[in-house]
Each structure stands twice: as structure tokens, then as C-alpha cells.
Amino acid sequence: MLTGRHVIEPGDLTVGEIDEICSLAEQMIVDPVSFQDVCRGKILATLFFEPSTRTRLSFEAAMLHLGGTVEGFADASYTSSTKGETLADTIRVVSSYVDVIAMRSPKEGAALLASKYSPVPVINAGDGGHYHPTQTLTDLLTIRGLQGGFENHTIGFCGDLKFGRTVHSLAKAMSRYKNNKFVFISPEELKVPEYITEDILKPAGIEFTTAEKLEDVIGDLDILYMTRVQKERFFNEQDYIRLKDSYILDKAKMKLARKDMIVLHPLPRVNEIQPEVDDDPRAAYFKQVKYGMYARMALIAKITGCL
């Protein structure tokens, strides 16, 4: 039963609940008209204490497609937090007006704190480097829609694997399904944290390897999850210059990939995927955006008790 539940991290949802949400989202994709009024009378608050394009607009579009309404803010400078109001008080006030809250904050743990003061469900839309559960739902729904399910995949994570919350969340989520293998592609400076490999993957018996160059392993992948390599993460510019082009996906690298591989990216991108790749049928990152709206529609409908 998802009604009334907070969703702060991907682990708040069981495998069965993820399947339930994805199944509902797939129904919404096929027949959106049947769901256009299910949340009529419900109000979503979008509290975004840091900038966002896709996530905020996706949440708002999701609620509007369900027949509900939206209020909130996209810039904390227009809120009473500038006067010193605490997050706890903000949540107490906002939850008096609405049925569900989607909140993003640059502060890790902010969504969990908000959930302790909110009588209505809180959905974490990103809290610093911690969690982004609806991005994980987006990624999972995309994988299920385009690759047929969550099992028996070789998944390559490429770029900034040290600080990438979307990478950590998806790796944890996919480790719950059978026969998945991971390939972590990054410079040494940005390798995946040990808590992912030592505390999650190894105890679960998940097979994983590491690589420093994308072209060395791209041919083995069913799914390539790209992220940006950030210059500011390196201790010296020479290492960045040496490695940066290894993490730019272009047509030449795509020629080495399987015909049925898909490319995902949480967006926004900078230069890590060249525009020339966009027309490749395996480029799924803009389809991923659309899947994200339906994933949020299904989640909102479930936790508000609309369905």
C-alpha cells in the first residue's frame, strides 16, 4: 500500500512496488485519456530550493496530466527562508495547503527532515549528493520499456561515478534484480565509491568490472549510462586533458557498440554526448525524459490514493 507514504530514497520502494508503479505508468503511456481526471481536486506543491528544469516541470506536468493542480516555487529567494524561516516551519505551512510535496534541496538529508514534519507525502526530488528516487524510477521505467525488463543486462556507467547520485541509485536498484553485470568506466579520480562495490554489489554476488576507456568496453554493453566528467574534480589539469576525450560519446564510439544497446543520461548534458549521436536510434535520453513524466504520474497517483 503506497497511499500516504513518503519516498525519500529508492530503497523506500520494494521490488514489488517498483513493478506496480512501472505497470501503472505503462498503462498511462498506452491510454493517457483514461487517467486525465484521476487526481482532480488534488494539489501538488513543488518546493525547489535549487534550480531545476526537467525534474520540476516533469512533476508539474505529471500532476496536470492527472487532472490535479500545482503550486510552489522554483527559486528559494522568493520564499520566507530568506527571512530565516526553518525548513520544518515551511513544511508545516505548505502541507496545510496541499496533498503531496515534491521537494529539491542542495542540502543532504533535507527531504528526510521535511518528511518528519509533513502530514502529507513528501517526494524527494533530489537532496544534494544523496538521493533522487524519481530519477531512478525514470531510469527503471525506460530500461523496462526499451529493454524488456530489469534482468540479464550488462550496464555500463560512464563518467563521474564518485559524485553521481543517479549512478549510485540506479546501481543499487538494478542490483536487486537477477543476472545483471556492471561495468564502471571512469578515471581513477572519479571511480565508484567503495560502499557501492563493497557493501552492496559484493554481498549480493553481483559481477562488476572497471575500465578507464569507454571504447574498450562499449561493445559489451546492453545499456550505457552516461554522466559528465567534471574538470573541477581533478587535482591537476594534465590528468583531465589526458582522460576527458575518453568520456565523450560520438559516432566513432557508437560504431563499436551493439545494435540493440541503449544510451541513457540523466541530463543536462554538456559535451559528453556529441549532438551527432542524437539521431542514432540507440540514443534514448530524450525518450527517457518522457518516461520520467509517466513514472512521476504513477507515483503521485499511488501515494495520494487516487488509484
Gap between the Cα atoms of 301 and 307, Å rounded = 6
Of these residues, 5, 54, 233, 290, which one is catalytic? 54
Asked about 54 being catalytic, the answer comes back as yes
Gap between the Cα atoms of 15 and 154, Å rounded = 19
Does residue 75 or residue 94 have the better pLDDT? Answer: 94
Taking only the tens place, the pLDDT of each residue in 156-192 is 999 989 878 889 889 999 999 999 999 999 988 889 9
pLDDT exceeding 90 applies to what percent of the chain?
76
Asked about 83 being catalytic, the answer comes back as yes
Q: What is the mean pLDDT of the chain?
A: 92
Of these residues, 6, 56, 65, 104, which one is catalytic? 104
pLDDT band at 234 (very low <50, low <70, confident <90, very high): low
Asked about 104 being catalytic, the answer comes back as yes
Of these residues, 6, 65, 130, 132, which one is catalytic? 132
Of these residues, 55, 142, 154, 166, which one is catalytic? 55
Taking only the tens place, the pLDDT of each residue in 247-294 is 899 999 999 999 999 999 998 888 899 999 999 999 999 999 999 999
Asked about 116 being catalytic, the answer comes back as no
Gap between the Cα atoms of 36 and 297, Å rounded = 10
Q: What pTM does this model have?
A: 0.92
Asked about 55 being catalytic, the answer comes back as yes
pLDDT band at 233 (very low <50, low <70, confident <90, very high): low
pLDDT band at 82 (very low <50, low <70, confident <90, very high): low
Taking only the tens place, the pLDDT of each residue in 97-147 is 999 999 999 888 999 999 999 999 999 998 877 788 999 999 999 999 999
At 106 the pLDDT is 87
Contact 90, 79 (CB under 8 A): yes
